[in-house]
Structure 1
């Protein structure tokens, strides 16, 4: 099945649940030929650029470390100072992540993002105008805190607005925009490193505010999350969004009825079970403890899988194999980001529905482990001979979704902070031997993923509860809400039947 293609083949797609398949409208061609789906997916590019804003920073700091003018202006930072310059960014994120989550839950997914855009543009200006090390470090702390205000709600907003059969790919593609920002940053530093003045590093620093400025200009086009609106009693507004972007204006759409009903029932069941949510709810039940553990593992090991060394300290890595010229290091940094984006899109995001998230985790972890073993061996050989030729946020239910994403990002930032202090010092002291640590981590991580991570492809956000709480979860929700004696025909068919004919017949009777 082609990328986002919506044809008869989709009706037979085993990754789509029978209940959802039964109410999907039939389109004759690909998604870009359907006006409302084209508008929806183009609109989702605006919040998706939040990932690009995050990706800009690592590649920019990599690039700046290759620029002699930057090193000279800041007195050739020692590994410990370099660690502070990089670590202050995720420290700022930790400061911002919890107020961002609170704003996202109380005032809407978009509320904190507006604040983040303004702070990011301001922070980029301060960073570009830095006159000493202290000012540069403070600007990076502000940028980190500002990033949290867009990084926390953006993937939730994208996921909750996406068309049901596009959600898996859209959510995966959101992460790949990280490398779009990295490419922008890497080639910005490559294009300016020849400038003889401080503008060689000030221009890339100021450009860190370019992407959020573009988002700010177009963000008014993006609607609020329908799930958040329903959770706050604004059902009519939520339905209008679904009708416009999921049903192309069809007020009687069976898909819209299905989505509204499913969200309303799940939210009511969650609110009855949890009269007031808190972070303690993340570990209150076995299912939530498993969700939280997976979120923490994904977050922390996103930074401790070995990629962090290359993401922020490619200069130190290249120095270990004799590549020391500014031009060569900046060029490698730029080309690496292009390769990363192509790999993330083609081998990751576009395969997520076909292969599944769990298998992709396993394949990527095994691949990284083998790559690190080879890398370690080749670097060891070079240092001895000088031979250069040898060389899942959506797993939480709605009421805990913002807090669950905060756990993922929180553990990511903790892992990043530790890495920013440890990596430059370890690289300078241990050299290639430090890579052995990541070989061992990746080996263990493969088995953790194999035994702990479930597969979630082919399910709506509400149906994912069945994976963690058992196949009777959705049935139990219905019966707690409706009672066994007064479940009407349409609800019973929607819950139990996999037949399109039955669901269509009930929907037709209701319209009549």
Structure 2
């Protein structure tokens, strides 16, 4: 079968898996504030019974938290399962399995007759997202050359932002339809990207590193040549890359302990902790909370109806636009810099919002604003506009920093033998915290109101300190060089980006011997190579 070799086309197809998560975020955030949703799943004084009374308040805050959290709960399970699926079936087929589960989940969600059925469908959707979100970054990082790796893996975050934006406007348009069709149509349409993903993957190559791990060396060589040199198997960079993969695979075959316990061994536990906290901190920024519950936040600021939905959509446009900067510059910027700058800026806007709401806000009337109990705090006038502005600035700070880097960074940390399993664990940590926060936030808005912003601001401050001391730079290095860096124990703050040297090696501007010198043969590499020969 014909195989696509252009890394950007490969990425464009693969990251549709990320877009599925985006579709879920906005299909919930745009719908949960509509009267059709509130009345159909009403638990207030006029329900259940699913009447059309204008006083329908929708699900209780704790139940709405459970509905929203069902998706990340399923993602947690899917991410853990993805390591096994990926190692056994291959990166590509594991993602296809995820696409099938997404279609099944979307059918159940679309047909939901009650809250239980809705939760079940969202859990299955989440299982799909867990598989795709864990294995798409692994897949594209193992195919991409070092100088483009950040860009193509970061495209997963861009796909998420596009999924959010597209589904939000679809849901917004459907909100003018009477009855249950207002949410059934967008929930049904969201299965289409998964169908495209499954079909598109048929034309993509398998990861060369996975092929090499399974002793399919000729296929691995062909894929490297196809993606990096337009089919030229003798290209210097292809030869160099294949040699490094061979050296690493041979060494790993001498140390063939690839269970999950490998991840907690002394030489691996530090990078496991970094990968897990990359994903945990990305959730504790509060970004996905902003995405799921932005209509609540803007409701507190006095926006309602169409005005609220349109204002909410602006942040999704900002999210898409600002992520472009990461795609263009992330391999030059590196990983540490964006993480440090992003968390510092986000802490600033969160503390600003907390101060504005505490100083100028007041408790909402009984029942909340616009009959939404979660909107238990209100603010108006110029301070309300400042809250909206800070929310937009928060999104603009997250989009080119923690958004893409949280997906780029974990696959770069681990050697081939454990990469699939390790990334499944780090991604699972993302989803379990997403689950907890999705469930926590609606009651938190009711119980502690503006103090929610203080909590996330403190988290952003803590992550800035953690990144500075513990997160090394991986940009511009081959995946095998990253392994060296960890074995040598280089302090995180002494690492830097090697972008320009890597570009020269990839374009054949230095021959194989100079390329080997560029790889700065270290004692660790020498020991590794010697051990592989024994």
Change (3 A) 1:421 1:353: same
Whether 2:158 is the aligned partner of 1:165: answer: no
CA contact (8 A) 2:7 2:227 kept: yes
Q: What is the alpha-carbon distance in structure 1 between the residues aligned to residue 293 and residue 160 of structure 2?
A: 17
Consecutive unaligned residues of structure 2, counting only runs of 5 or more, are 43-57, 363-377, 387-408, 489-521
Whether 2:438 is the aligned partner of 1:420: answer: yes
State the partner residue of 2:178: 196
1:195-214 aligned at under 5 Å gives the runs 195-214=177-196
State the partner residue of 1:474: 525
Q: What is the alpha-carbon distance in structure 2 between the residues aligned to residue 144 and residue 251 of structure 1?
A: 40
State the partner residue of 1:389: 382
Whether 2:343 is the aligned partner of 1:365: answer: yes
TM score, norm. by length of structure 2: 0.80
Runs (4+) of structure 1 exceeding 4 A deviation are none
Cα drift, residue 150 of structure 1: 2.0
Change (3 A) 1:165 1:445: closer
Query: Which region of structure 1 is more displaced relative to structure 2, 100-109 or 110-119?
Result: 110-119
Whether 2:249 is the aligned partner of 1:283: answer: no
Cα drift, residue 96 of structure 1: 2.1
State the partner residue of 2:501: none
Question: Of the candidates 450, 453, 457, which is equivalent to residue 471 of structure 2?
Answer: 453
Q: What is the alpha-carbon distance in structure 2 between the residues aligned to residue 321 and residue 270 of structure 1?
A: 56
CA contact (8 A) 1:66 1:329 kept: no
Cα drift, residue 379 of structure 1: 2.3
Consecutive unaligned residues of structure 1, counting only runs of 5 or more, are 1-35, 484-512
Q: What is the alpha-carbon distance in structure 2 between the residues aligned to residue 37 and residue 353 of structure 1?
A: 24
- The alignment covers a number of residue pairs equal to 444
Cα drift, residue 403 of structure 1: 1.5
Cα drift, residue 386 of structure 1: 4.2
Cα drift, residue 435 of structure 1: 1.0
State the partner residue of 1:333: 312
Q: What is the alpha-carbon distance in structure 1 between the residues aligned to residue 150 and residue 10 of structure 2?
A: 17
Question: Of the candidates 380, 383, 386, which is equivalent to residue 358 of structure 2?
Answer: 380
CA contact (8 A) 1:321 1:379 kept: no
Give the 3-state SS of the residue equivalent to 1:233 in structure 2: coil
State the partner residue of 1:102: 84
Change (3 A) 1:44 1:439: closer
Change (3 A) 1:308 1:218: closer
Change (3 A) 1:40 1:441: closer
TM score, norm. by length of structure 1: 0.83
Cα drift, residue 268 of structure 1: 1.4
Cα drift, residue 37 of structure 1: 9.6
Change (3 A) 1:449 1:478: same
Whether 2:47 is the aligned partner of 1:71: answer: no
Q: What is the alpha-carbon distance in structure 2 between the residues aligned to residue 38 and residue 226 of structure 1?
A: 12
State the partner residue of 1:307: 287
CA contact (8 A) 1:465 1:473 kept: no
1:492-507 aligned at under 5 Å gives the runs none
Q: What is the alpha-carbon distance in structure 2 between the residues aligned to residue 175 and residue 473 of structure 1?
A: 34
